[in-house]
Amino acid sequence: MIASLVFVGLIAQTPASLMPAAPAAAAEERPAASERSPLQERIDAATPGSVIDVPAGKYVGDLVIDRPVRLVGHGRPLLIGSGKGSVVRVIAPDVHIEGIDVDGRSGGDVSRDSSGIHVWAPRAVIEDCHITRALFGIYLREANGSVVARCTITGQPDLAPGEQGSGIHVFSTDGFRLDHNTVQYSRDGIYIQASPHGVTVGNTARDLRYGLHYMFSDDNVFEDNVFERGAAGAALMYSRRLTFRRNQFLHNRGFASVGLLLQVCDDVTAEDNLIGDNARGLFMEGSHRNVFRRNVIAESDVALVMYDSVRDVRFEDNSFVGNLSPLQLVGRRTDAIFDRNYWSDSRAADLDGDGVQDAPYTVSSVFDHLRGNLTAADLYAEGIGAAVLARAEEVFPVLDPAPVVDAHPLARAPILPAVPVPASDRVMRRTWPVAASGGFAVFGFWLFARNRGKRVTS
């Protein structure tokens, strides 16, 4: 029940985002003469394959690129839109835009996908561009084989999420690449839909609704990205064969917030990611055959929220550190396998010194079961009653739900050198050296003792 409320809460801000976006009837028309950029004459006179050098300065008006040319800025020229539509409209294949700044002037129409740069043609390359005050930053539509690299996109923090678009929006595009871009203050940082075989690497998305919003797109790879300070770090739905490596999902807090959400996503592999300081670390529903290994899930209110519709999921060699609750299971059964993970709140000994605790670790207590199936139980999560109930169930198990256990819990935190180090976060930077040295156990014992003291005195 509560997991359903969580998911509904996440998507309620923009209900239309649940449905596949209908493509516009046609590309934006050529702007009227009074709304054209002074660069339009140079585009119109260029032969295919030409390099158009743009010196520093301000160029007011919209620009249509209808032939394969290379537009290169020198001294960061600024293209200021008319405020009526997309500032740069690419409708020819093999266009390259580099070193250009774009100001959308807060104009255009979200329903028409008005963008700083709107690409509706294959094999475009957009690199080292800075885009501000555009409803959508960069929009790739049916732009197979296109690349967006080293761009900075700043949305409009004074607008509600539903009043603007995504920083980078990818629709019906096969084989795209998003490489080391930064997005802030847009509706979603990166939105990907109906777009397979993409690579998203080294991007940062922060201070928005979803860092990554992703639907109906198979066979994509996400590596070395940072998604932070949103309602969700990443919300992925209805997709298969996804790979996550060395990403960071940080500080996604608030009602129904989550670090990484998987809704009907199958055959996902997540390795060496850092999921830290979220209201809920990982949320899964209706997802099958997923593998999570060598991830750090830390300092979240709930490390894992799983529906009993999740099937054939495996967690191995992960570190769960400083979470208030390890698991909320919605339903009565799960076949998820937990093996050789580290749990900072585990109290079992390792008398033979083999690095594995001498007793299995019970991942979910009776109170965690109630939290997953009774909304009001969250109100008592910090109370002494929750601690007493959980401890009583350990000694005298009485509820019917099958226990979720880690058969071989690690006695010490594993050294995970591939898990990324947060760049500028003091709390997570304090945690990281402990993880790297295998000292998460000390941190876990301290946190457990502190929380027990709080409960006893509350």
Which DSSP symbol is given to 190? E
For residues 149 and 176, is the Cβ–Cβ distance under 8 A? no
How far is CA 319 from each of CA 99, 297, 345, 409, 414, rounded to the nearest angstrom? 42, 6, 11, 10, 7
Residue 232, pLDDT score: 96
| Helix segments in 264-403, DSSP class H | 366-373, 384-395
Give per-residue pLDDT as tens, 76-122.
Answer: 999 999 999 999 999 999 999 999 999 999 999 998 999 999 999 99
Mean pLDDT of the 170-185 span: 98
CA dihedral 125, 128, 132, 135 (to 10 degrees): 20
Ramachandran sector of residue 407 (left: φ over 0; alpha: ψ -120 to 50; beta: rest): alpha
The pLDDT tens digits for 278-335 are 999 999 999 999 999 999 999 999 999 999 999 999 999 999 999 999 999 998 788 9
pLDDT, residue 364, reads: 74
H or E, element range at 215? strand 204-215
Which spans in 131-205 are helix H?
none
How many other C-beta atoms lie within 10 A of the C-beta of residue 20? 12
Q: What is the pLDDT of residue 90?
A: 98
Residues 140-148 have a mean pLDDT of: 98
Please say if the pLDDT value at position 436 is more than 50. Answer: no
Sign of CA dihedral 343, 349, 355, 358: negative
Q: What are phi and psi of 41, to 5 degrees?
A: -65, -35
Average pLDDT over residues 32-45: 96
| Separation of alpha carbons 343 and 406, rounded Å | 9
Q: How large is the average pLDDT for residues 252-276?
A: 95
Q: Average of pLDDT values for 368-378?
A: 43
**pLDDT bracket for residue 256 (50, 70, 90):** confident
Residues 202-227 pLDDT 10s: 999 999 999 999 999 999 999 999 99
The stretch 392-415 carries a mean pLDDT of 75
Q: Where along the chain do its domains lie? A: 36-217, 257-458
In the predicted structure, residue 456 carries a pLDDT above the cut 70: no
Q: Which among 222, 215, 344, 214 has a CA at the least distance from the CA of 276?
A: 344
CATH number of 36-217: 2.160.20.10
For range 143-167, the mean pLDDT: 95
Computed from CA positions of residues 379, 381, 387, 392, in that sequence, does the dihedral angle turn out positive or negative?
A: positive
Question: Across residues 328-344, what is the average pLDDT?
Answer: 93
